[in-house]
């Protein structure tokens, strides 16, 4: 009898299992959160979208940074990780299309964020002080304006509570000067490539978060990559400076939650079916429009 896989981490969306031989099985659920609270209702296809987009971008960006993905093929995963089959029924009807076999990495203890446009916390800081992560910016910028150049804006990795925005010097103090400089160089290159691909598909990649870690001493691309959960992806024809553009992510849920009267503390209110459906559609559209691929061709499709 094959022993069950040991879960080594359970996040809001992903779960990691020890697959042996220096490997992890990373499974993306359909869970969704807003304001750091996980809702009870799953978003159909969300886990498959996050997994498919990560696999796509790891291929697209492989010449800039090696990725940790070994395979997404369910047959290969089943062969290499016999206990994987038993995960079906653990909140998923099947892990096909939502699981990645990846190499273990010694994670860099900072969040590596690149911003190309003024939005979110960066806009809040700019509006208050004229800076972004402590760097003075030109006066007169508006929400959703393009920054003079993409910025590497790291943050801490908080075990509990929220990550804290930090400057480059603080990042270097945490991980070392050479590691911080390598992370900045790699992430700016990754952003430039991804933003160009998104632009060709009619999107603006406003910002995105990368996770880096060392595999055999080489700084590598880990976890999810340029997904709707880790990025602000705006339709280019809907970006108007001074207004919040419609994002291809969980925006329908956030808008509903903000107008529902919910106090943003657990437990969350039940999601209306139309919000679940609209959010699912938004995730699928992000994958298909950016990659030019059909989610129905990805592993685990309902036939």
In which residue ranges of the chain is CATH 3.30.200.20 found?
1-104
Question: Is residue 303 predicted with pLDDT exceeding 70?
Answer: no
Look up residue 279 and give its two tokens.
Answer: 């959010």
In which residue ranges of the chain is CATH 3.30.470.20 found?
107-238
For 78-87, write each residue's pLDDT tens digit.
999 999 988 9
- Kindly give, in sequence order, each residue whose CB lies less than 8 Å from that of residue 13, ignoring residues fewer than 6 positions away: 28, 29, 31, 32, 33, 46, 47, 50, 229
The DSSP H or E segment spanning 27 is: strand 23-28
Look up residue 74 and give its two tokens.
Answer: 């369910």
Percent of the chain with pLDDT over 70: 98
Q: What is the pLDDT of residue 251?
A: 85
For the residues 204-224, what does the mean pLDDT come to?
97
Look up residue 152 and give its two tokens.
Answer: 């590497």
Q: What is the pLDDT of residue 302?
A: 79
Taking the C-alpha atoms of residue 234 and residue 108, their distance in angstroms, rounded to an integer, is: 28
Look up residue 195 and give its two tokens.
Answer: 């933003």
Is residue 52 very low, low, confident or very high in pLDDT (cuts 50, 70, 90)?
Answer: very high
For 117-155, write each residue's pLDDT tens digit.
999 999 999 999 999 999 999 999 999 999 999 999 999
Decide if 174 contacts 158 (C-beta within 8 A): no
Look up residue 237 and give its two tokens.
Answer: 């024809």
Question: Is residue 33 predicted with pLDDT exceeding 70?
Answer: yes
Is residue 59 very low, low, confident or very high in pLDDT (cuts 50, 70, 90)?
Answer: very high
Domain spanning 107-238: which CATH class is it, in words? alpha beta
Determine the length of the chain: 303
Q: Is the peptide bond before 63 cis (omega within 30 degrees of 0)?
A: no
- CATH architecture of the domain with range 1-104: 2-Layer Sandwich (3.30)
Short-list 26, 83, 20, CA closest to 211: 26
For 155-165, write each residue's pLDDT tens digit.
998 766 577 89
């Amino acid at each position: 009898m094959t022993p069950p896989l040991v879960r080594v981490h359970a996040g809001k969306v992903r779960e990691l299992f020890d697959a042996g031989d220096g490997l992890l099985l990373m499974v993306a659920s359909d869970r969704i959160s807003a304001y750091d609270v996980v809702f009870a209702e799953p978003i159909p296809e969300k886990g498959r979208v996050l997994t498919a987009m990560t696999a796509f971008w790891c291929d697209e960006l492989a010449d800039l940074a090696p990725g940790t993905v070994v395979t997404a093929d369910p047959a290969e995963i089943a062969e290499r990780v016999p206990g994987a089959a038993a995960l079906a029924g653990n909140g998923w009807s099947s892990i096909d299309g939502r699981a990645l076999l990846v190499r273990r990495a010694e994670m860099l203890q900072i969040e590596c964020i690149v911003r190309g446009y003024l939005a979110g916390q960066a806009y809040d800081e700019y509006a208050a002080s004229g800076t972004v992560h402590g760097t003075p910016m030109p006066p007169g910028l508006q929400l959703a304006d393009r920054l003079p150049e993409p910025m590497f804006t790291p943050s801490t990795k908080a075990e509990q509570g929220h990550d804290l925005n930090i400057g480059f010097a603080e990042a270097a103090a945490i991980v070392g000067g050479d590691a911080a400089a390598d992370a900045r160089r790699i992430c700016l290159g990754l952003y430039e490539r991804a933003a160009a691909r998104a632009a060709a598909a009619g999107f603006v990649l406003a910002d995105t978060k990368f996770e880096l870690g060392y595999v055999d001493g080489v700084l590598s691309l880990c976890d999810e990559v340029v997904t709707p959960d880790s990025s602000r992806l705006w339709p280019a024809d809907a970006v108007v400076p001074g207004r919040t553009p419609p994002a291809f992510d969980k925006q329908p849920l956030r808008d509903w939650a903000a107008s529902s009267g919910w106090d943003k503390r657990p437990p969350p209110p039940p999601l209306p079916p139309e919000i679940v459906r609209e959010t699912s559609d938004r995730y699928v559209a992000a994958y298909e429009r950016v990659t030019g691929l059909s989610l129905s061709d990805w592993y685990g499709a309902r036939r």
